[in-house]
Chains A and B, each alone.
Chain A
Amino acid sequence: MEKVVEIKDIEKIYYLGKTEIKALQGVNLEINNKGKFICICGPSGSGKTTLLNLIGCLDRPTRGDIIILDMKVLTLSDTKLSQLRNEHIGFIFQTFNLIPVLTAYENVEYPLLIKGLAGRERKRRVLQMLEEVGLIEFRNHKPEELSGGQRQRVSIARALVTLPEIVLADEPTANLDTRTGETILELMRKISKEHSSTFIFSTHDHKILNYAEKIYYLRDGRISLKEQ
């Protein structure tokens, strides 16, 4: 069985001046099957973002090992990591993080441009993704002309357009009202099944835990598992 994510005895220490802050202490995590909808839950400051950043190859741990899709990512160069992120990991941010000068279409197209996908195929995929998130009519709108929920949909489309195995979403509903947040989670879960991508999202909101198939609790830098 292919291991999607394997985190081995991870420790991450930040230094604030001379104060040592242990964001993660001895975290082990294994995500084996594709297409799961996994939640990392914990109060703010519990290390959720740190953990997601490590899985997303955006940061390096102080100790421990990370294996993503059978690759020891800590040995890879920055260029290879960029390539890995581009082709195998999708990112959904709490603040959407769309590129303001690009339209919805162009924002979704961006990862495919980096990947170097040829014109016609690129267009087909972008339009298909926009269709899936229900924004085909808004494709020529700039982010500032879209509502929060619509922006997050664009962001979901952007994360999934390269058909990644892993999608990381750090508090994807925190900047949305409850109703919109629920729709977004619904959409994420649906797409997760259709694309058989493993979604890992973090939240501190207990109300949305019901959407998850698997929940990890993170408290004071330590992790514990609770199957749904």
Chain B
Amino acid sequence: MQKKSIISETEEYLLRNNKCGGLMKITKIFSLALRNIFRNKRRTTLTFFAIISGMVALVVFGGFVHFSFWGLRESTIRSQLGHIQIYKKGYSQEGLENRLEYLIDNFNKVEEELRKMPNIEISAPRLSFAGLISGGENTHTCLGIGGVREKESKLATFEALVEGEDIYGEDEAVIGSTLKKSLGVEIGNYVTLLTMTVDGSINAVDVKVVGVSQSGSREYDSVVVKLPLTTVQRLLNTNSVEKILLLLDKTEHTPTVATQLTQIFEAKKLNLELKKWDELASFYRSVVRLYTGIFNVMKVIIAVIVFFSIANTMTMSIFERTREIGTIRAIGTRKSTTILLFFTEGFLIGIIGGMLGIITGIVVATVINITGGIYVPPPPMMTQGYSALILIVPKVVVYSYISTVLVSIVSSFYPAFRAANLSVVEALRHS
């Protein structure tokens, strides 16, 4: 009987059935890989431990970083910047040099418009000046900020009044704690403020120190003098304001409100412009950059540790299973299927280890939060420390998980290829 070559017959069969003859069903590969993972329980436990530690570090540190971002963002917004600042058009280009030439004079009309908008909680007009403050013996430069008390008190929730009381009447002042120290004045003393009016002449006013405030930023506390808006207007000889700070109900609404406002300014020809908090908060931005940088370095270190721990486990496992690899290759497992088999092991280690890591990470974060968070000493240029909580940020958790799985796949590359390329004869001889 003339028999056709077996291989061409097989090829025909494969073409006809359009399937890969050497490839096992993926479910079977998963089941085999899963059993192989749990074969050496102690080693697998150690690998999982490495993955879990890495994940916990990522989730907890990521949560801490995000809490810090949140805290710094809100404190910056609430104590200094507001969510949005409104100025006369041109202020941000030219106004910093000639502030007094870019004042908002139609302030009441603007406020009327702002009151109509739902997301705005507070609109606080401000007029500030740079000048000198004298307490009798000492004279210092200062930053005078005039505002409306009822509005300012709501705005500065991160700024604490540490001595005395808030401004109630005309010609009263609250000064920064560091400034108070360097001037050597007490509550109830009078200080003299000296600056230039809008029309270029020198003017001075005597105000009574009624309180001392502390913001957390030493630099700010060494220059700030808070005054009633009307006092500053009188000092500068104007009825206008420099800017209007807006505080919204939620920080997330900032872009929407900003867009709406820009449209209103255009439509009503109000000749105004605005800046959002993130455009103004340079300190916040640099902190975010710094922390993100540190976090990235940490991610890389953890990825490397996880990489080597999985690669090590797989390499050891392959060494121990050399003869078995020879056997499965001998009985017809293709190189590609062998690679897939070990790949799946690495992948499953990542999947399972990552899951355990998420759970442990969330548990650790919750325990830290319940027990009161992590005390953080005062950051640079700040005067107060704080207790940081760990935010469980879905983005961080998902990101850590995906990276862990990716790293585990990548780390099984080399061991898998090595296993597939073992010489079958030598592998079978291995004892």
Contact = CB atoms under 8 A, between A and B. Distances in A.
Contacts of B330: 56, 58, 85, 91
Given A93-B428, A113-B24, A71 B331 contact: no
B25 A113 contact: yes
B181 interface: no
A114 B332 contact: yes
Interface in A21-74: 53, 56, 58-59, 69-71
Nearest to A97: B327
A101 interface: yes
B332 A85 contact: yes
Interface string B39-83: 100000000000000000000000000000000000000000000
Nearest to B33: A101
Interface residues of A, number: 36
A140 to B, nearest CB: 14
A97 B24 contact: no
Interface stretch (B15-23, B236-244, B246-254, B352-360): B15-23
A73 to B, nearest CB: 10
A118 to B, nearest CB: 10
B10 A58 contact: no
Contacts of A83: 7, 10, 21-22, 332, 334
B6 A71 contact: yes
Nearest to B31: A106
A82 interface: yes
B32 interface: yes
> DSSP class of B's interface residues: helix, strand, loop or mixed?
helix
A91 B331 contact: yes
A69 B10 CA distance: 13
Given A71-B6, A113-B25, A158-B331, A99 B425 contact: no
B425 A53 contact: yes
B331 A110 contact: yes
B306 to A, nearest CB: 25
Contacts of B337: 114
> Which of the four size classes fits the interface of chain B?
35 or more
Contacts of A84: 6-7, 332
Given A59-B424, A85-B332, A99 B5 contact: no
A88 B7 CA distance: 10
B269 interface: no
A15 B415 CA distance: 27
Nearest to A96: B327
Interface string A95-132: 10101111000000011011110000000000000000
Contact of A114 (B323, B333, B335): B333
Contact of A76 (B7, B323, B332, B333): B7
A116 B332 CA distance: 12
B22 A87 contact: no
Given A70-B3, A87-B332, A93 B21 contact: no
22 contacts: A70-B3, A70-B6, A71-B5, A76-B7, A78-B334, A79-B334, A82-B22, A82-B329, A83-B10, A84-B6, A86-B332, A87-B6, A87-B10, A93-B327, A97-B326, A100-B324, A101-B36, A110-B328, A111-B331, A114-B333, A114-B337, A116-B23
Interface of A: 2, 53, 56, 58-59, 69-71, 76, 78-80, 82-88, 90-91, 93, 95, 97, 99-102, 110-111, 113-116, 158-159
Interface of B: 1, 3, 5-7, 10, 19-25, 28, 32, 35-36, 39, 323-324, 326-337, 423-425, 428
